[in-house]
Structure 1
C-alpha cells in the first residue's frame, strides 16, 4: 500500500495579484514558513527589478530560496528543486508548515509532480549521460552549428521531435538533438517511454492544495499599468546602473542568455543604459552632439518604460495560460489529486475586501486541509467558493507537451510562417496578414496571366505569311520550344 502523501500548500497566480501577501497571511495563521518559487527573486538584492515582497511586509516570516544568488550565477531548475525539497522537509521537522509561493509556475509544477519533462531531462543530466556543456559540445560540434543545421540533423535522427519545435526555437531543438546524441536513442522514444511508465500512476510528490489568486482583467490591467512608475519611484534606475556595471565588466565571461539577464525590467532598458554610458564617458562631445545624445537618451528611456509595461502584461497572461493549460490539466489527471484538482480560485479584484474574500477563506480551507481528522473529500469544492467565473477552473485546452496528437508543424508557402499547433495554424491562415499576402499574390498572378494572354492574342493576330526570319527573337524561342 502506498504511503500517504504529506500535505503541501502552494500559492500561485499572475504578477500583481497578491501571491506574496496571501502566503504571509497563511504563514501567520498556520505557523508556516515560505519557500520562494520565483526564479528571479532568488537573486541577491535587485528588490525592485524582481518585485520582491517588501521586507517590512513579510511580518518576520522566514522566506527561503530568496536573496541568495549573485547576478552572474545561473541556476538550472533541478538545482532549485533539490534544495526546495530539502527545505520542505526541514521546515516540517521543526514543526512548521511549508508554504510555496511564486510566479515561475514551471518551477512549481516540477516540485508538485515527478514526471515533468524538465525532471526527466534533469534525470538524464545526472545519469550515465551527464557531462559539462563544454565536454558535450566538444564531442558533438553540431550542437554549436547554426540552428538550421541542428534542425536538419535532428530531422534525420528524430523526425518526431524535429516536427515538434518551431524552426527558430534553437534551445529546444538543440536540447532534443543533444539527448539523441548522448543517449544514442530518439528523444521522442525516451519521452514516450517515460509517459508510458507513468500511465495510470500518480506522480504527485505531495497531497497538494493550491490557492490561485486572480483578479478580473480590467482590474489587473489597471494595476499593471502603473507598475513601472512605481518601480521608478522605488529606485529602479539605481538598480539598473549597478547591474549594468556588472554586465559591462563581465559580459564576455557570463551567460547573459539566462538568469537575471532575462528579467523584465532589465533587458528592456539595455539600449538606454548603453546610450547613457556613452554619454557619461564621452567628454569630448560638442554641445550640439551632446544635446542630440540627450534627446536620444530620453527617447530610449521612454521606450524602455513602454516595453517593460508591455512585457509585464504579456508575462501576466502567460502565467495564467500555464495555470490553465499545464497545471490544471495535470492536477485533474493525477489520481492522487484532491477533488476538482484541489485548486481554489480566490478573487483579489477588490483589495478593500481582502480579508473577507481572500485571507479568511484561504485560512479556513488550509486549516481543514491540514487537519488529519477531516478527510480531503469533506473540503469545500473549489467551484463553491469561487466568486470569479468557474470556467477558469477548467483547462483552457489540452497540454501540448503531453498530447502528441497536438504536434502539428505547418509552414505557410505564402508567408513562410511556421506554426507548431493546429490552433496557431488556424489562427494564421484566418488572420488578416495572411489573407492580404494571398490576395496580393493572386493579384500578381492574375496580372501575369493577363500579360501572357495579351502576348498570345497578339501573336495569333499576326499575318500568316510572316517568315521565320522576320519573327522576333522571343517568337523564335517560343517556336523552337514548341
Structure 2
C-alpha cells in the first residue's frame, strides 16, 4: 500500500532537502505545496529548487501559472489531488512538500470551497488596492466579526476571500472551514522545524543570498511580464519589497531588511498554524540523520494504521 508523505513546516527549515531524500529512498515524486512556487519566473525569491538540483526526481505543481494569474486554493486542490492520485497509480510515493498553510489543508483535508464570483472578488480587491488592509479589515469586522478576529489584519488576500464568501453565501466565513480528520489517502504528515535563533539566522542568510543572486533583476524581468498587474504574485514576500524599492519607497538595504522581517513574521505564523495540528509528527531540521529519523516515523505511522485496520 502506497502512503503519501507530506513534509510541511516553516520556511528555511530544510523541507526541500528532506523531501528529496525521502523521494530517493521511496521511489517517489514530489508535489509542491508552496503557493508562490506555482508561478513561472518566480525562482530566486521563492528559493525554487533549480532543475539541476532536483536529482532527476519528477516535480509537480511548479511553474504552472503566469504571474498575471491569481493563485487560488480551490484550483490548486483540484490539480494537486489529481497529481497525487496519478503518482500513486504509477506505483510511486507522492512526497508533498511546502509551507502554504491553507494549501496543505486543501490537499489533505475534507474542504469544499464556496463558489467564487469575479465581480464580487474584484470589488473587494479594488478596495484593498485603493484603501489598504485597514479599511478592508473594518469592512470584514462589520460583515463577520468572528472572521475579522481570527484573520490577521495584514492578510489582505484572505480578508478579501472572506468578504467574498460572506457576500455570496450569506453565512459566516467559518462555515466554509475545512473538516480536520484522517488525512486524505492516509498521508503521513511530517513537520520540520529548528530552534528559533538558528532559524532566524538561516532566514537572514537566505534573504541576503536572494538579493545577491539577482532578486532585483528577476523582479525587473517579471515587471515586463505583468508582475504589477497580478493580484497574487506582486504581494509575495521579497517581490513586494523590491517593487517598493523600485518605486523609491526606500533603499535596497531597507528592502532586504523588510524582506527578512516579513519572512520571519511569516515563519512565526507557519509555526503556530502547523503546531496546532496534532497529526503532524515533528522532526528537527538540524538532525544529521534527518532522513533516517523521518523514515522511522513514516514506518511507525503506517504500521500503526495497518494494526488499526486489522
| TM superposition score category, shorter chain reference | 0.7 to 0.9
- TM score, norm. by length of structure 2: 0.82
Kindly report which structure 2 residues correspond to 1:162-201, keeping only aligned pairs within 5 A, or say none.
162=145, 164-165=147-148, 175-176=161-162, 178-183=164-169, 186-188=170-172, 191=174
Question: Any conservation in 2 of the 1:142–1:150 contact (CA below 8 Å)?
Answer: no
User: How many residue pairs get matched?
Assistant: 300
1:306 paired residue number:
257
1:362 to 294, 300, 307: 294
Q: Show the counterpart of 1:411.
A: none
Describe the SS at the equivalent of 2:4: strand
Verify: 1:210 aligned to 2:189, yes or no. Answer: yes
Q: Give CA-to-partner distance per residue, 1:315-351, whole Å, 9 cap, x none.
A: 21111011123xx1xxx4xxxxxxxx3x22111235x
Q: What does 1:281-292 align with in structure 2 at a 5 Å threshold?
A: none
Cα deviation, 1:227-256, whole Å, max 9, x if unaligned, reads 222113322222122123334xx74xx3x4
3-state SS in 2 of match to 1:14: coil
Supply the distance in 2 between the matched residues of 1:304 and 1:154 (Cα, whole angstroms).
Answer: 31
Contact 2:10-2:267 at 8 Å conserved across structures: yes
Cα-to-partner distance string for 1:54-78 (whole Å, 9 max, x where unaligned) = 3333111111000221111112110
8 Å contact 1:151–1:173 — kept in the other structure?
no
- Runs of at least 5 residues in structure 2 that lack an aligned partner in the other structure: none
Aligned 8 A contact 1:105 1:319 in 2: yes
Q: Post-superposition shift, 1:37?
A: 0.2
The match for 2:281 is 344
Q: Report what 1:392 is aligned to.
A: none
Query: Which aligned pairs between 1:335-414 and structure 2 lie closer than 5 A?
Result: 341=279, 343-349=280-286, 353=288, 356=289, 358-367=290-299, 369=301, 374-376=303-305
CA distance, structure 1, for counterparts of residue 297 and residue 88 of structure 2? 19
> SS of 1:72's equivalent?
coil
RMSD (CA atoms): 3.5
Q: CA separation of 1:181/1:49 partners in 2, compared to 1, >3 Å: closer, same or farther?
A: closer
What is the TM-score of this pair, normalised by structure 1?
Answer: 0.55
Q: Which residue of 2 aligns with 1:387?
A: none
Tell me the CA shift for residue 79 of structure 1.
Answer: 0.3
| CA–CA distance in structure 1, aligned partners of residues 262 and 41 of structure 2 | 22
